[in-house]
Amino acid sequence: MEEKVTKIFTYFEDLKHENIFTLCVGQLVELYDQCPQCLRIIMYHLRKLFFSTSKDSRLKLKHRQLAASLVGKLAQLYTRNLDQFAHEDATI
């Protein structure tokens, strides 16, 4: 799973892949939904996006936008899963 996450994050390194950035974010959210254990590696790469050292200012901006979007989507998914767990626990 770690290889998949790393492979997806490599697409964010170049603006020529900008047309698939949204698709990559969706894939990462889907991977987290299927395998919550991969959150550690996703967070590692997110940190690298937030603190991008790219010389291209457009790419730096894109990195920060992508990271913020991904954090928001992961937080929604986490909250949904937590609510489901709480409701399941309450019915027992």
The structural domains of the chain, with segments of one domain joined by +, span 2-91
Residue 1: predicted pLDDT = 86
Contacts of 28-32 with CB under 8 Å at 24 or more apart are 28/70, 29/70, 29/73, 29/74, 29/77, 31/1, 31/4, 31/5, 32/74, 32/77
- Chain segment 37-76, per-residue pLDDT in tens: 999 999 999 999 999 999 999 999 999 999 999 999 999 9
- Chain segment 15-24, per-residue pLDDT in tens: 999 999 999 9
Does residue 92 have a pLDDT over 60? no
pTM score, whole prediction: 0.85
Q: 89 vs 80, which has greater pLDDT?
A: 80
Residue 42: predicted pLDDT = 96
